[in-house]
Chain A
Amino acid sequence: MSTAPVAARRIAGRQWGSWKPRLGDVGLRLLGVLAFFSVWQAATSAGLLGEAFGADFGPVRGLRALGRLTASGVLVEQSSASLGRLGLGLGIAVLIGAPLGVLVGYSRPLDAATSVVFQFLRMTSPLALVPVALVAFGVGSRPVVFLVAFAAVWPVLLSTAHGVGRVSPIWKRVVRGFGGGDRAVVRKVILPATVPDLLQGVRLALGVGWVVIVPAEMLGVDSGLGYQILDARDRFAYDELVATILAIGLLGYLTDLALRWLKERYSWSA
């Protein structure tokens, strides 16, 4: 494998974008991270970003605050609150989006009838729906979960529909030829064939979910990473604000990595 040409390795799916970097890339990745932090630190400590952004906004103090927040248990508490809402929102999005995606992927008329509406809703920022969410679900976790689910359902739905389109009619005929009914076709063909696309949809949904959950948690909840950002600002604890931003980025990266691994595990090539 190590002597195979780059193109061949790319086909094998272990190249760019893989959750598992090649050994040579690990060093480069670390170097990139290090360079990023250095520029950031230099900019803040030299006051290049203006007087308002002092050393408290730099990564060194941020990381130090991150350690402090982790040790005190605050970070774990707030992260679990956010992760719980995010997970619930994504779960609802999958429960609604995946079956709808299968239907839309199967039925051309349904696809035609829904495509404009779905694209329209997809482009509507969930944050524009904040007032609606608050009226509908009151104050607390529920509107936050709703906003995440609303943002996440579209990529799941559209990606699943695309996956259904990859199902070859011959596979279904093979299953029916062996005497299998609709249930067997779904279990032996449609589900395993579409799982990689579904997971790709969940990956995209996770990205928008992180984008949505932070501002959503700035409204009427008293826990979560979004709340913690506002709280740090109110207390002028800018190093904690940076620490929270770092935590959000890190958690986002790790959850995405997990989904990439999952997707690769179930992906197939014809």
Chain B
Amino acid sequence: MERVNGAPERDGSDPRTSGPAPGGTGQAGVRRAGLVDEIIVVDGAGRTFGRGNTAVEALAATTLEVYEGEFFCLVGPSGCGKSTLLNLVAGFDRPDRGRVLVQGRPVTGPDPRRLLVFQDYGLLPWRSAIGNVELGLEIMGIPREERRSRARALLERVGLSVFEDKKPHELSGGMRQRVNIARSLAVDPDILLMDEPFGAVDALTRMGLQADLLELHRAGGKTVVLVTHDIEEAIYLGDRVAVMSERPGAVRATVNVDLTWPRDRTSAEFTHLREVILEHFRLVPERRAPEYSI
């Protein structure tokens, strides 16, 4: 029940499926060469809450670009300003300094073309699963018939057709997040902004949801920015992983994940990337000198 059944077949021409890429010539490398457009530009944007002595700098001046169609992950400890950054891109908040541009234009407010997917789902408890998926379509003024059929198709895509009449409290956490994702996809956004989307589900459900999200991303060609404190999740999903420092948050480094799909969490390359990122958090124990090792 936890798997996507109706996911479209993989596109064989996807560069990420065309075998291991030598360093620097993977898709991310092509992007760095300027062949792919930047869809999100964060240009020295920072945010401070409060004033005077009680002011808290949640996000130090941050600069990053996200390319069209890429899966971009932000990792960092709790309270590092990841959510603040995501809110700036979603348009729920404005930066104090610097700029946030999406598709070349400054962000002035929320827009259904770049949707924030909330961690705690934000499902309306009085609506059924399908009613929740229809919410955005209703607001956009889509006629009833079309709404229904689009919502049905999306519930099918996330494997919840059987549960379309269930209320959120009758669904498990994982199912609720699927409904939430289906609701977001229903309005066909260009960008999905996901704030710890799998933070509230158990580990196995989480892995299932991650795999499904990847399938949806690969089938849909949408840009995804996912915030997480789970390094493994970031490496498993991301084309690139930005590492954020602690308060005040700022992007410390961006790591390219030139791994093929499906990614093997136990492979040497995966483990290596994990260490690379952990080192940024200074969480790797100092290695012993070579002469002591066998």
Interface, chain A (partner B; CB < 8 A): 168, 170-171, 173-180, 184, 188-189, 192-193, 266, 268-270
Contacts and interface: CB of A to CB of B under 8 A. Distances in A.
Given A178-B140, A180-B139, 6 more contacts: A173-B116, A173-B118, A178-B139, A192-B126, A268-B167, A270-B169
B126 A177 contact: no
Interface in B147-162: none
B235 to A, nearest CB: 28
Contact of B135 (A173, A188, A193, A269): A188
B230 interface: no
Given A178-B139, A188-B139, A171 B124 contact: yes
B138 interface: yes
A50 B132 CA distance: 65
Contacts of B90: 177
B136 interface: yes
B92 A192 contact: no
A189 B115 contact: no
B146 to A, nearest CB: 16
Contacts of A184: 139
Interface of B: 90, 92, 110-112, 115-116, 118, 120, 122, 124-127, 135-136, 138-140, 167-169, 187
Given A177-B90, A178-B135, A179-B139, A189 B110 contact: no
B124 A179 contact: no
Contacts of A266: 126
A189 B125 contact: no
Given A178-B187, A179-B110, A270-B169, A170 B139 contact: no
A269 B169 contact: yes
A interface: dominant SS: helix
| Nearest 4 interchain pairs by C-beta | A268-B126, A178-B136, A170-B122, A174-B122
Given A170-B120, A174-B118, A188-B138, A179 B125 contact: no
A179 B169 contact: no
Nearest to A166: B125
A188 B138 CA distance: 9
Nearest to B91: A177
Contacts of A179: 110-112, 139-140
Nearest to A168: B122
Nearest to B186: A178
A177 B140 contact: no
B102 to A, nearest CB: 14
Given A173-B92, A177-B110, A193 B138 contact: no
A269 B168 CA distance: 9
Contacts of B126: 192-193, 266, 268
A176 B110 contact: yes
B131 to A, nearest CB: 10
